[in-house]
Structure 1
Amino acid sequence: MAKDSRHGAHPVCRAVAKSRKKARSACSAQFWQMSDDEVSTALLEASRLRAQVAALELRLAAEADRREVGDEVGATDTASWWGHEIRQDRRAAKRRMRLAESLDRHAPTAAALAEGAISTDHARVITDCIDRLPDDLEDPSIPERAEKHLLNEALDLDPKSLAMLAKHVLTVVAPEIGEACDARALEREEREARAHAWLTMAPDGKGSYRGKFSIPTLHGEMLKKALLAFAAPKHQSSKKADEDATEVVERRPSPERMGDAFCELLERLPTDKLPKLGGLNASIVVLIDFTSLTSDTGRVVLESGQPISAAMARRMACEPGLIPAVLGSSSELLDLGRTARLFSGAQRRGLVITQRECTAVGCDWPAHLCHGHHDDSWLHGGKTDLKNARLLCPRHHARIHDPRFETTIHPDNQVTFHIRT
């Protein structure tokens, strides 16, 4: 019989093929025939087996990288080839390849993983910690002692707890230098976290905003504590006391309850204390006609053009973060004539409502980032009235005052610029 070229003659190839066959057979077995002890024991052993298989996989990945196996098909690197071949996320493949490279340098951790004593998550924490140690340590045995200490702790700790301990490993294995090194590392970490903080968010078109962020530990803890104050059982119980006095509130806040707490936190922000944006406090303006305001149904529009229900607008109308602009109302003074040069907050809100964005043709800068401009110059007698006002982004506001350009205001109130000849 011809030898199966896929399995080859090497013991590793035969072991992998045989293990896959046995695992496939085990998955199709009748589990109901097992005792409780057999199920629990098999589950724990399967977890250890997973770690051992991962150790083998990572060793093979490191060897494949050394041989540059992806070059044969023109792959950018071995991780890209690996991810493509097994239809794995490329970023995940690169993370696993980095772990494979680290384990190549940390034999004790690789051995513990091969024994099934630790998981790949434990191994990543340990190798990352050792790789982050300063290069100028006077005692060359410190990295070895630190790795040994973390491996011992990994037998009793989950990866998250181990990661917290790893941040201060030098204090344990080299207390004479550990405290100073930890302090410097912490300061550097905090600087980098603040410098690289980011947030993205966008409407999903289904009535929600979705986003993600990365912020320093301190600010994350501040946000978490504020949200927990709204999501805590005591707060939730007081909110629901009138609905059902006997209701039992779960002790651990769910993601849904934390999301509800986030909304409540935003609704309670004191907008009069926030920095001004475009000359106004960071308040939301809602365009709503009198009929929608008084009826049970209806649809209103935010200044950005996003719609919300009239019921939501009525509920929020008394909150400081939302200003209802009832169309046709004269409750705010929008025409200051010659009494002031700069447009007032009320006038700014009026411009946001009527113009929405920069009035230069082809420009989509949002209103809250634009400047208020007098069509008839205030210095030459122009009034600070809405009919004499327009929104222009900083670039077009500079251009409209540039003597090299002349402007044309079109019937739709849009402006175009032309170089003077």
Structure 2
Amino acid sequence: MFENRGKVDAVSTSGSTQISRTEWWREDVGCLLSRLLESESVQRREAAVQGEVMAELERRGIRDTTGYGSLVRLLQETLNIPHAEAKARAARALALNGTRNLTSGEQPPQAPATAQAAAEGAIGTAQIDEILRVLDKLPKTVPVDQLEQAEKILAELARSAGPREIRAAGRRLISQLDPDGKEPKTRDPKPFQPEFSIAPHRDGGHQIKARVDDETSARLQAMLDPLAKPRPATEEEGRDTRTQWERRGCAFSELVRMWAEHPDLPTQAGEATHIVVTVGLKELRSGIGQATLDLLGEITAAEARRLACDAKIIPMVLGSHSEPLDVGRAQRLATPAIRRALIRRDGGCAFPGCDAPAYRCTAHHVVYWAHHGETKVDNLVLLCSVHHKLIHHSEWEVRIASDGLPEFVPPAWLDATRTPRRNTIHLRT
């Protein structure tokens, strides 16, 4: 498929050997992405083969056949890898391939379905380790057939999901197979007690440490979020370069000041600053071309369309002769009622594998507002800022399925079948 791309050629020059590698800068993006996926699959398959070799060495007896005291020691000293990595590789190999010992005889693999997916190059070490962690948390009292079914579910999920989704699915499986959980150490556990402390810091500031219940935490986050948004860029200050934690620190200080001075606090439904985008009708509909953003200057039409999802935009649409065709109202923002419905449906960022909570998300129009898309639940989806930009600037597509839930269609270079994917992290148990 790739001819000689990626291969290393030996070239003789004046009696010496030089290494000539593929000049990847000559290749198009499609080739680079395909090569990236292919090389990852090859590495995963080779890792699975290496695991099979480790398991066979363990079956034959490491000490008797190699002189090393354990498989971990063998890997550490022969492969020159850290002890922690050697231990992880050994545990992974034995869990996927099984082993044999003198006391209990042949030990079948703990995760055969996971081993099969690994052998195909469909999953990597991080996904395997997450599956094994979930299986290890299940109690021994769970019937074998249920354990096997749980492992198959996780292995199949891992083919198109990352560790976070596997972890979330694992929590749901554990709650179903072991609903009572671990027995508490004390019969009468101590009731939860909130804590709050302020201590001076050596840099002149103060360190605040708190321990609160779920409701208080949710309320605090809802109050901080509208205050912690990045400042609009200005000619004097430029763009806001503060980190998320720095913005939240400033937001907390502002919240305290507001509490001291005003009884009414901002809510999660607080509105963003009004800004004006001037854009041609053709550019607005296509997303190609330039627009002018009030206070910022020129931006692309695609950026203006993306901003319209999470800021109160007043679009000034111009015709072919720069005449104003429509100075619209800020009607494309989701209402508080619609947002509550989206939070109930999506739980947080709906993009597959993302665990961003709802308070960090904006409502994105599936059919763009510029393309006559309506501001209603069936045409909106919650997306965090990262995946909001990805949807606007990549080949990923989002749509609302027949069951009313959002699903995402991956690019062809990632999945030739373009099988729709969903976020399973926010599923309600």
State if a TM-score over 0.5 links the two structures: no
> Larger RCO: Structure 1 or Structure 2 (Cα < 8 Å, ≥ 6 residues apart)?
2
TM-score normalised to structure 2 length: 0.39
Choose 1 or 2 for highest CA Rg. 1
**Higher strand proportion (structure 1 or 2):** 2
